[in-house]
Amino acid sequence: MTLRVVASPDWQSRAACRGVTDLFFGPDEPHGQLGRADRERVARARAVCDGCGVWSQCRAFALSQPNALAGVWAGTTQRQRAGIRRQIFALGVVP
Ligand code: SF4
């Protein structure tokens, strides 16, 4: 099954995270738990995502990538996206 990329070429120019990307990239938790500082960083990143006007495009893009993206995308961590992708493939749903 192939996931469809629905991101428009310009959606990233309207991202709420422009200029604050340091919040979005750091250690993720693919193999364990984040430390307190990184949990707080991820929480701040998610708060930015909550008000982002291109959240749906970002989520579709992040989930459509064949190789897992690092960092927070559309309020999800790499580990969370891996779980969502497994569910999508299990259901045969195209995001
Ligand atoms: S949803 Fe979050 S990660 Fe995605 S573009 Fe918006 S602010 Fe950035």
- pLDDT higher at 49 or 89: 49
Q: Which atom of ligand 1 is nearest to the CA of 46?
A: 2
Contact predicate 29/77, CB 8 Å: yes
Q: Whose CA is nearest to atom 5 of ligand 1?
A: 15
The pair of structure tokens assigned to 78 is: 């790499």
Residue where the block lists tokens 């779980």: 83
Domain locations in the chain as residue ranges: 11-91
Q: At residue 68, what is the residue type? A: A
End-to-end CA distance of the chain: 12
- pLDDT higher at 69 or 75: 75
Q: Which atom of ligand 1 is nearest to the CA of 55?
A: 1
Q: Does the Cβ of 3 fall within 6 Å of ligand 1?
A: no
Distance, in Å, from the CA atom of 2 to the CA atom of 18, rounded to the nearest integer, reads 29
15-61 pLDDT per residue, tens: 999 989 888 988 766 556 788 888 899 999 999 999 999 999 999 99
